């Protein structure tokens, strides 16, 4: 299902929306004429979304702490000090229901916005107000790159993700084939190209394409000629 401009791109912002909606939807049920079952379903969706998000955040934080604990065990100082207890991973509570809850939440949002009692003020308060899919059509998406060649076969690349997830950067040496250098989620970024002949200058071309939800999105950028050297 296509996403909409009201649905945040960042996961922490989505969590904030879910928490706000969960806290307020019950108070609007009568005004919107929502069946009790639909209100309960939407609250369950929000609760499960938040539980899954928070659990993964806890697991990620504990994993980082576990790596520090391991490194402290291996190389900590002063040698001989007592070892602190190992971090304990969080255990997620019961999360029951059906998969695909974001798409279902979109459907419920559409039901709400079409209700006779719905107003923009209600939508703003629930943080679900906004036009559907305001982004440019996929066929119009073409990344524009700014490249600066540096010593060490490096290329500094600047570009806009255009509200999408990542940018796949590819390189083709003259007479060679296209290879993927890296998939970037943050820009600018310094890329390193492995030359065909180590220590020798090399010429080739760079191009890129937007990645959204793990799939290529839109069109390739123009091909940019580069000459690299040690």
Tell me, what DSSP letter sits at residue 212?
E
Same domain for 210 and 121?
A: no
* Non-local CB neighbours of 5 within 8 Å, separated by 6+ positions: 130, 131, 132, 133, 134, 135
| Domain, as residue range, for 93 | 11-126
47-72 b/e with 16+ CB inside 10 Å = b? ebbbeebebeeeeeebeeeeeebeee
The domain boundary, picked from 126, 148, 168, lies at 126
Are 49 and 78 found together in one domain? Answer: yes
| Spatial separation of the C-alpha atoms in residues 117 and 140, rounded to whole Å | 37
Alpha-carbon span 180 to 183, nearest angstrom: 8
Residue 132 lies in a domain: no
The structural domain count of the chain equals 2
In this structure, the answer to whether residues 61 and 93 fall within a common structural domain is yes
Q: Does one domain contain both 83 and 190? A: no
Q: Is 32 exposed, middle or buried (0-12, 13-18, 19+ CB in 10 A)?
A: buried
Would 212 be classed as within a structural domain? yes
170 and 89, same structural domain? no
Among the candidates 74, 96, 126, a domain finishes at 126
DSSP assignment, residue 85?
P
- Domain boundary residue, one of 126, 161, 192: 126
In tens digits, the chain (230 residues) has pLDDT values of: 344 578 888 899 999 999 999 999 999 999 999 999 999 999 999 999 999 999 999 999 999 999 999 999 999 988 999 999 999 988 887 777 778 899 999 999 999 999 999 999 999 999 998 754 455 667 788 999 999 999 999 999 999 888 788 999 999 999 999 999 999 998 899 999 999 999 999 999 999 999 998 999 999 999 999 999 99
> Between β-strands 224-228 and 166-173, what pairing exists: parallel, antiparallel or unpaired?
unpaired
Is residue 163 assigned to a domain?
yes
CB atoms within 10 A of CB 97: 12
- Reported pTM: 0.55
| Assigned domain for 2 exists | no
Q: Are 45 and 98 part of one and the same domain? A: yes
CATH number at residue 223: 2.60.40.10
Do residues 29 and 120 share a domain?
A: yes
């Amino acid at each position: 299902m296509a996403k909409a401009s009201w649905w945040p791109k960042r996961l922490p912002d989505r969590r904030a929306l879910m928490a706000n909606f969960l806290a307020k939807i019950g108070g609007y049920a009568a005004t919107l004429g929502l069946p009790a079952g639909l209100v309960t379903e939407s609250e369950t969706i929000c609760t499960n979304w938040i539980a899954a998000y928070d659990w993964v955040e806890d697991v990620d934080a504990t994993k980082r702490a576990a790596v520090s604990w391991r490194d402290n065990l291996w190389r900590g100082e002063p040698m001989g000090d007592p070892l602190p207890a190992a971090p304990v991973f969080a255990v997620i509570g019961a999360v029951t229901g059906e998969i695909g809850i974001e798409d279902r939440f979109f459907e419920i949002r559409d039901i709400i916005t079409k209700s006779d009692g719905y107003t923009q003020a209600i939508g703003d308060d629930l943080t679900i107000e906004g036009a559907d899919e305001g982004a440019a059509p996929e066929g119009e998406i073409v990344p524009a790159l700014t490249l600066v060649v540096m010593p060490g076969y490096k290329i500094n690349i600047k570009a806009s993700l255009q509200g999408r997830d990542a940018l796949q950067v590819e390189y083709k040496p003259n007479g060679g084939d296209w290879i993927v250098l890296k998939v970037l989620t943050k820009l600018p970024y310094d890329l390193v190209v492995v030359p065909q002949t180590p220590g020798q200058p090399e010429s080739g071309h760079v191009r890129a394409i937007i990645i959204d939800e793990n799939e290529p999105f839109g069109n390739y950028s123009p091909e940019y000629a580069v000459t690299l050297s040690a």
